[in-house]
Amino acid sequence: MSVMFSRACRLVVVAIVLLAIWQLPRLTIDNNLLALFPSNTQSEAQRIAEQSLSQKYERQALLLLTAEEPDDIRRALPDITAKLKSCRCIAWAGSDRSADNNSAALDAIYAGHARELLTASDRERLQNYPMPGIKRQRLRELLTSPGALNEQTLSQDPLGNLQNFLNTLAPLPEALKIDGQGNPYLIIDDERYYLLRLELSASPFALNTQAEFSHALANALAEVRLLPGFKQLQTGAIFYTLAGTEQARREVSTVGLGSALGVTLLLLLVFRRAELLLLAFAPIALGVVAGLVFTQWIFGRVHVMALVFGAALVGVAIDYSLHFFAKRLDSGPHWQAREGSRRLFVPLSLGLISSCAGYLSFVASGFPGFMQIAVLSSAGLVAAYAFVLGWYPLLLARPQKHGLPRWLAIAIDAVIDVQFLLLRQVRKPVVIFGLFLLLGWGALQWQVNDDIRSMQSIDPQLQNSEQTIREHMAGQPALQYFLLQAPDADTLLRRSEALQQKLDILVRKQKLGGYHSLSQWLPSLTTQKANAELWQQRVLDSGLLAELYGELGVKPNQVEAYLRRWQQERFLEPGKALAAISRLPGAPGYYVRDGKFYGVVQLLAPIDGEALAGLAAKHSHRQWVDPVARTSGLLQTYRERASVLLLVAYGIIFCVLSARYGFKGALAVITPPALASALALALVLTWGQAISVFHIMALLLVLGIGVDYSLFWRESGRQSRATVLAIGLSACTTVLSFGLLSLSSTAAIHSFGAVVLSGILLVFVLAPLALGRGLSE
């Protein structure tokens, strides 16, 4: 390695630092899972619909509280609600969310349209019931209900049709009961649970919102939790995020802290120099920063998953530092920085070229997530490589007074002997047969799992709580929905009404818990006209309304004024009305994009997905959207594409190695990571795990690290204690850094860690196979 090359590396590092100072303040982290996939996997209309639903439901939460004396809970409800509302993290708290649809907002839309807004039961009543009976019932309602008889009722809603219509907009679940003070409650296992609804003012995924909510809830429930027999049921995204955050903190404090301490103690034990710790992690830190800068520069943002996996792959760069440190330690007082750098130049450069070539092959996937991982990891490795070969010869030019400690030299020799002994045994037919048996058994156990739900860790107590609430309180929102499209607002309403008829059948068959659609909030013009005609015939032409006014004592001239008003046609214009309705809390989603009108039909659990999906099969204007199934399908595509690209990466690396070692030499170098990967997969399959995209991404890490191990064995031979020391330390740090992730209770992280743990241990043992014929010498 020339002096000019070393200077060029130092300039690259300086340039990266300057670029980072300019670019990092503009860094944008993206945590949208769907941003990992090509944009054509989700339409713009679906994206807007799901953003609306997410903001609506993810901020809602439900609390059910009871005690031995439920009245104690009831009396405490006002105080609990007041304490919750005092927190800025809570936008609303109370027992009846429908109260937010205040009369002023509703009157602005619906006032004066009683004849156009008939519920199904009111239509049936007007069509089939005798008019005198309808009149007597209404007189009884008006005369016996305090405050019911007033000017607004007489002029706007004489038969109560409008109020009946408004009552259907926010119906209470059938199981929900109301006590004498107006507080809703449920009976669960013969116990009375009082209900509280909450709505957050910000996303439940924000850490500051989680902290504020947790403190507010603890403060609000502090007194009632002391009551005998106190029980609490809860559901909502905020409770799951709190549990997930707490779990992450526990795992960071155990796995993360244990990993950091283990790596630190290991490096101190071997190199006995505290400053080397900083130098060991400096290239990795620079690599991650460089990866972030270039990814942000190219893509405009960095996805959090690309950051996680890309940073893991950049972590391979610690091998560069360890080889440099080990070479220096092994040389002792005879260390010459320029000569040591020259000896490391070829294997480090080959490792960098082969790894970057393999990672950059992922750019061809067309998947934004893969492309970001490829750029971030490749840019990071180049930066780390430049730091090691540019700055290490300057910073570590002074030789150490002592070389390898005797105990360490003995340990390294013992490891070499054991490795070679094991690998010689591999050639025996019985061992080869055992390996093939393991691979064959793993192949027989082959199974895949791309279900996003199985990759998450859900708190069992929360899951049981939500299940109990769903069993006793039907009508909880489902993730699936219908998205309707039309060229204009009225057509959208007609299509919603057509779907509504089908959904009503499924509700009666108990294949659907319920739904919220635009046509429940606003009939189409056709339905409005039909309602108005029915009202005209049965209420006005029959004389029913005039008789009702007369028996209520309304003056004749006022009766005439009322009747003239009802004779006028006043239909709700769909476009304007829907725009106003969409701003009301609880209203279904409605929006206009590129001249097309869209409406969201929200579904309530339980649902029969197959039956519902069939309703959209032959209708291009109906989209059945199942976000969970779609995401699982995308993960399947991701896994399949990653598997192909992993094989492509092996092929590219093999071609790069063939240029130096020839066909047989390249085959020898590529065999250890390939065999280790195959055995690692066989092991996790034998353990009963199903293969997911996270297993495949772990194999990419095994490839990147394993090729480095093979290259250094091939370049240095078995006589180099420095090589074996560096590879051994690399294996230990990798196991501590990534292998311990197998202890995680989150399935996706556990899968990644299990493959890395088994793969790295196996590739460490198999790496001397890179020597080829030299193995038997």
Domain match, 343 and 437 both: no
- Domain for residue 209, yes or no? no
Q: Is 236 in contact with 198 (CB distance < 8 Å)?
A: yes
Both tokens of 691, joined, read 């293969």
CB under 8 Å to 575, separation ≥6 — which residues? 488, 489
Rounded-to-integer distance, Cα 744 and Cα 749, Å? 6
- Residue-level pLDDT at 697: 81
Retrieve residue 444's tokens. 């027989």
* Alpha-carbon distances, residue 573 vs 273, 290, 521, 534 (angstroms): 79, 57, 13, 19
The CATH number of whichever domain residue 321 belongs to comes to 1.20.1640.10
User: Of 386, 403, 420, which residue constitutes the final position of a domain?
Assistant: 403
In Å, how far are 144, 159, 161, 195 from 136, measured between CA atoms? 12, 11, 15, 37
Q: Are residues 380 and 353 in the same domain?
A: yes
- For residue 272, give the H/E element and its range: none
Q: How far apart are CA 582 and CA 635, in angstroms?
A: 34
Shared domain for 649 and 770, answered yes or no, is: yes
End-to-end CA separation in angstroms for the chain? 30
Residues 129, 603: Cα–Cα separation, whole Å? 33
Per-residue tokens: 284: 């990795």
Q: Report the domain count for the chain.
A: 2
CA distance 224 to 230: 7
DSSP state, 231? E
Q: How many residues are there in the chain?
A: 777
Q: Is residue 501 part of a domain?
A: no
Residue 378 domain flag: yes
**b or e along 606-618 (b: 16 or more beta carbons within 10 Å of the residue's beta carbon)?**
bbeeeebeebbee
Query: Do 631 and 777 belong together in one domain?
Result: yes
Angstrom distance (rounded) from CA 351 to CA 362? 18
Identify the DSSP state of 305.
H
Residues 335 and 400: beta-carbon distance below 8 Å: yes
Asked if residue 313 and residue 414 are part of one domain, the reply reads: no
Write phi, then psi, for 117 (nearest 5 degrees). Answer: -110, 80
Same structural domain, 641 and 707: yes
Picking from 601, 642, 609, 615, the residue whose alpha carbon sits closest to that of residue 628 is 609
CA distance 187 to 168: 23
* Domain assignment present for 133: no
Looking at residue 322, its pLDDT comes to 85
State whether 643 and 732 are in the same domain.
yes
In a domain, 512, yes or no: no
Q: Does residue 280 lie within any of the structural domains? A: yes
Domain edge (last residue) among 387, 403, 419: 403
Handedness of CA 593, 596, 597, 601 (dihedral sign): negative
Residue in the structure block whose two tokens are 């993810």: 58
Separation CA 530–CA 748 (nearest Å): 56
Say whether both 425 and 367 belong to one domain: no
Q: Are residues 730 and 746 in the same domain?
A: yes
Residues 6+ apart with CB under 8 A from 741: 255, 749, 750, 752, 753, 756
Smallest Cα–Cα separation from 587: which of 100, 104, 160? 100
The dihedral built from the CA positions of residue 558, 561, 563 and 565, taken in this order, carries a sign that is negative
Residue 662 and residue 777 in one domain: yes
Please name every residue paired with 597 in a beta bridge, in sequence order, or none if there are none. 486, 592
Q: Is 491 exposed, middle or buried (0-12, 13-18, 19+ CB in 10 A)?
A: middle
| C-beta separation of 277 from 267 below 8 A | yes
- Indicate if 313 and 432 belong to the same structural domain: no
Residues 745 and 705 in one domain: yes
Query: Do 632 and 497 contact (CB within 8 A), yes or no?
Result: no
| CA 187 to the chain's CA centroid | 34
Cis-peptide into 606, omega within 30 deg: yes
Structure tokens at 759: 């793969």
What six digits make up the tokens of 288? 């991650």
Q: At what angle do helices 275-299 and 368-395 cross, to 10 degrees?
A: 140
- pLDDT at position 434: 82
Would strands 231-236 and 60-66 be described as parallel, antiparallel, or unpaired? antiparallel
Is 69 inside a domain boundary? Answer: no
Give the Cβ contact number of residue 670 at 10 Å.
24
Which residues are paired to 177 by β-bridges?
185
Give the pair of three-digit tokens for residue 42.
Answer: 């989700």
Domain that holds residue 661: 410-454+626-777
pLDDT of residue 66: 92
| Mean pLDDT, 10 residues at a time, the chain of 777 residues | 81 90 77 60 74 77 91 91 91 68 75 89 90 87 76 83 85 74 86 90 80 92 92 88 75 65 82 82 87 87 72 71 86 84 86 80 73 86 91 86 82 85 78 82 84 72 84 78 94 95 92 91 94 91 87 85 83 93 85 91 87 89 86 83 88 89 91 93 89 86 86 77 85 79 76 88 90 63
Q: State the burial class of residue 586 (Cβ atoms within 10 Å of its Cβ: 0-12, 13-18, 19+).
A: middle
Examine the fold and report which residue of 388, 403, 418 is the final residue of a domain before the chain moves on. 403
Count other C-beta atoms under 10 Å from residue 667's C-beta: 16
Asked, for residue 383, whether it belongs to a domain, the answer is yes
Residue with structure tokens 């679906």?
46
Nearest to 730 by CA among 711, 714, 706: 706
Please report where in the chains the tokens 């996996």 appear, as a residue: 309
Q: 334: exposed, middle or buried (C-beta count within 10 Å: 0-12, 13-18, 19+)?
A: exposed
* 426/772 Cα distance (integer angstroms): 14
For the range 127-134, what are the long-range contacts, defined as Cβ-Cβ under 8 Å and sequence gap of 24 or more?
127/534, 127/538, 131/538, 131/542, 131/544, 134/159, 134/544
Amino acid identity at 420: F
